[in-house]
Structure 1
Amino acid sequence: MINRSERGRDVVQNTFGGALYQQGRGFYSALEFLAIVRGEVLLERLEGAFGASPVRVLPVADPVVYLRPSHDHARRLLVTDHDVRPGIFAGADTREAIKALLRGIEIAVPGRRRTPDKWQLRHFFPYPAEAIHYDAVERRNQVSVERYQFRGAGGLAHKILRTDPDEKRLADVRSRFRQLLGDSGTAVGKLLTVLAKNDEAPCAGSRCPSSLEDAMAVAFRDEVEEKSLQSLQEDGSDPTRDRSTRWMHLLRSGVHRILHRPHSSEFDRIDGLMHWVPWCVAQHQLAMARRRIGTDESAPIVFDAGHRSSPVRAIARKHLGEATATIKESLLRAARQMGLPELCKGNSSWWTGPRTFYTTTLYAVGAMNAHTGHRHFELRPQFLQAVVHALVDEPMPLEQFTGEILGEQLRIICDRESAARFAAVDLDGRHLQTNGEELAGRLDEVGLLRAYSDSTRMVGVQE
């Protein structure tokens, strides 16, 4: 009898080029990605202090090795009214003040109806860099640093970035990550560094080792990330074995632009990455699913921007249903092609997790209207802001933004201009025009639209 869970993982890996599961949905993929790069920055800096000088940040070749701060002490403080370790704080007032500060830098996980009471489900927003941590869980009253919510989507994004064929761009991204994810030196950063020294899980990033050997003893080799995109360089005669998609290019160029944008604060850069990385990974997943079943992987999707039911919203809901059905069918077809037809019967958890990854990730980044219930693709302000930061260098006319950026690059239909880029759209021009005006309102809501006259509206970051 086959191990369904293990064989299911093989099918998911084969289909999408990475481990994409419900547990690693939404912002978790960005948190995982940033934890990997931060761990590389820490290890590279530590090795440099001992005279070694390997390139650890986004290395071109395997293996990927990094440190994994857990912040288990600070995260456990979030869920208890008692001292995790007596004697650390000067008094109860000090402890409560620090707890209040830590709760202020927590990141909300979209889709949860209430705040989890388990510390391993609580995470800090990855700014300042000292707040970045890896996944951890408590087992037999011991803190274990391991994959719990970080299931591999962030590792896939990391693999895509470090295999960038544009060597100049990769070198620049590497340099800017060293700056962004190095110690901030801020008051909050210094406090987090002190708290990390009380972690139960050992990490050379928070406890100073006495030798390079001690540092490497707690360094981690990421075998899950190593397996991502294994077939990227294989013979392209079989399209299902080629992991390259348009979304890999957009991830690389978008991350570079977010890191390189002048006048952006470090917080803005991190926030842009938190939205852009998950979006590109999810769309890469859909492209690979479409390729597996033989449909057009660049087919456009209708996105709603209105505030009420409309024909545009109806098509956006239909397209979402088609996308999730495509992901399911691609996995079932891959199972049959791999000689595992028995996976297509019985327990479906091995394929429902990857399907849920797609929908909950889009909801988290603002590209879907709701976590549950009647759902449809939607252009929400936070997602539009990420798109502008990732793809727009200089302010451009609204029509150019919807046509070239949303339409041509992201394959999003939302108004007349974007719809004109494609052969046939089953929508009346009036409804598309109304949706386009609603979109303009959402851009204006987050300060991304400036009107100079009735006919001239510019989209971009207003410096």
Structure 2
Amino acid sequence: MQLDRPEEKKVLKGPEVSRELFGGVLDFDAAGHYPGLELLNFIYCGVGEDLLPQGEAIEILRRSHDFGRRLVWDERFVNDPRRHTVLLGDESAEETLRELLRCLQLEIPSGSKDPKWSRAHFFPYTPSLIHWDARERNNKIGIERLYLRGGGALVYKILRSDENATRYRCIREGFRKLYAATTDSPLEMLAAFINDQSKQDSKPVEDEIEKQTRSNLDEFENVYRDGILNILEQRDATSVAKVRAIMGWTAIWLVLMQNRRARGRLELEESPIICDCGANSAQLRRASQRCLQEVLDNIIDAVDRVEPNLPKARRNNIRSFFWATAAANGFLNAWRGRKHFTLSVDALEMIVLATIPSGKELPYERFVTEVLYDRLGIAIGRGAAEASGLVNSIDASIFEENEAQLAHQMIAAGLVTQYSDATRMVSPRNDA
């Protein structure tokens, strides 16, 4: 007699757990600025003229920019035959081009020395500088995911599945105009030429990661969409400032969303992220440090709730996406050592571009309460502390000083104009 054996439950893998929790793949290798770069790849390297197609399958034509990246960051490039056929053996021109391309590198916050060429990416100053991941195997260049792991695919799905038809059309048109001023620029022409020398897809490739990504999971996605639209419609901002803001806003929104959805899976009440903006209070600093630790612990607990048997390394990768992405984008004080939440000038400028409409101003007190706390869940000042109950454990005067210190920083950065002692207005910088 043969006994029926109970079916073994399938152990979910890291990407599957992340999709279940957050809608898409959030992985440590996708930390820093890579989700924004991945987003731009989907938008500007897609097939057809529609930058935000609403169909099921998404096809893109990936390009590696391996010629330029290897020229700068690969010592073995001296043996590449393209060096002679393209550069014609002119060592002076080669060195000039190398130094120019080196200046286009996308920042690597954790890097302390020159990276391998596959680790280095160009900042997307012009559309032809946008490129995918690539690596070399058996003397052949392969275009594949290394650092663009899925965060950008998630926000791309969120943008193209927007149920607000008007906002969707405006965002699509905004992306269409984003690079208009760079179309005939010398840098774009040079980037296009270098791109032509590099490995790229000969036919469109369907992206499976984006296909499996889920969107329209909660209202917080509309905060992201509204922010992208606001950035794209900033009339006085340069295209470079907008691109930086899009990449920064994408990163900050992803970590805020990761925190919210982890708490939701654990059925915890909403709790703000406590930012220390220089109040010079040891009590506030410790509270911010504890807040970060609580966020990281919640992510681990939420992962365990979905898949208790996930290997520790994969579990930590999902958690590390949060702190590494936050640190790289000015939402944490440092990449290494003891960390706490803060807001750098770059992060503040990005948030202002994403939340204050072009040509408009918002009183500073309303920005701190209505934007940072109500919309984003970030506690800075007394209003947020009172609304969230933080004044029960931390003196309200500490939050008042914290709010004042943030105002000083924003005034110095040109993000707040002080008209009088009682009137301070937040607006995007005119030279952005």
Normalised to the residue count of structure 1, the TM-score between the two structures is 0.85
2:324 maps to 1:360: yes
* Partner residue, 1:212: none
* Partner residue, 1:141: 139
Residue deviations 1:338-359 (CA, integer Å, cap 9, x gap): xxx433xxx4011100100000
Q: Which one of 265, 289, 293 corresponds to residue 266 of structure 2?
A: 293
* Partner residue, 2:4: none
Q: Which one of 139, 150, 154 corresponds to residue 152 of structure 2?
A: 154
2:176 maps to 1:178: yes
C-alpha separation in 2, matches of 1:148 and 1:226: 18
Shift of 1:3: 8.9
SS in 2 for 1:420: helix
Q: Which one of 401, 414, 417 corresponds to residue 383 of structure 2?
A: 417
* Partner residue, 2:163: 165
SS in 2 for 1:143: strand
Q: Which one of 218, 233, 253 corresponds to residue 244 of structure 1?
A: 218
Shift of 1:303: 0.5
Task: Assess, with a 3 A threshold, how the Cα gap between structure 1 residues 195 and 2 changes in structure 2: closer, same or farther.
Answer: farther
C-alpha separation in 2, matches of 1:400 and 1:434: 16
Q: Which structure 1 segments of 5+ residues have no match?
A: 46-54, 204-216, 233-242, 336-340
Mapping for residues 273-284 of structure 1, pairs under 5 Å: 273-284=246-257
* Partner residue, 2:404: 437
Shift of 1:323: 0.2
* Partner residue, 1:67: 61
2:115 maps to 1:123: no
Q: Which one of 6, 16, 38 corresponds to residue 22 of structure 2?
A: 16
SS in 1 for 2:200: coil
Letter in 2 for 1:60: Q
C-alpha separation in 2, matches of 1:327 and 1:114: 31
Shift of 1:326: 0.3
* Partner residue, 1:239: none
Task: Provide the alpha-carbon RMSD of the alignment.
Answer: 1.9
Letter in 2 for 1:190: M
Letter in 2 for 1:218: K
2:310 maps to 1:304: no
Letter in 1 for 2:94: R
C-alpha separation in 1, matches of 2:330 and 2:246: 13
Letter in 2 for 1:427: I
- Does structure 2 conserve the Cα–Cα contact (< 8 Å) formed by 1:38 and 1:181? no
- Does structure 2 conserve the Cα–Cα contact (< 8 Å) formed by 1:404 and 1:418? no
Task: Assess, with a 3 A threshold, how the Cα gap between structure 1 residues 423 and 430 changes in structure 2: closer, same or farther.
Answer: closer
- Does structure 1 conserve the Cα–Cα contact (< 8 Å) formed by 2:326 and 2:332? yes
Mapping for residues 354-433 of structure 1, pairs under 5 Å: 354-393=318-357, 394-425=360-391, 426-433=393-400
Residue deviations 1:279-317 (CA, integer Å, cap 9, x gap): 111211111111111112x32111010174522211111
Q: Which one of 21, 31, 48 corresponds to residue 44 of structure 1?
A: 48
C-alpha separation in 1, matches of 2:383 and 2:200: 55
Residue deviations 1:377-399 (CA, integer Å, cap 9, x gap): 11111111111000012212211
Letter in 1 for 2:126: P
**Aligned pairs, how many?**
414
C-alpha separation in 1, matches of 2:404 and 2:321: 31
Q: Which structure 2 segments of 5+ residues have no match?
A: 1-7
- Does structure 2 conserve the Cα–Cα contact (< 8 Å) formed by 1:29 and 1:150? yes
SS in 2 for 1:342: coil
C-alpha separation in 1, matches of 2:148 and 2:9: 26
Shift of 1:9: 2.7
Residue deviations 1:70-100 (CA, integer Å, cap 9, x gap): 1111111111455442231141010111111
Q: Which one of 22, 26, 32 corresponds to residue 32 of structure 2?
A: 26
* Partner residue, 2:73: 79
Residue deviations 1:368-413 (CA, integer Å, cap 9, x gap): 1111211011111111111100001221221111111111111111
Letter in 1 for 2:147: Q
C-alpha separation in 2, matches of 1:104 and 1:2: 51
Q: Percent identity of the aligned residues?
A: 29
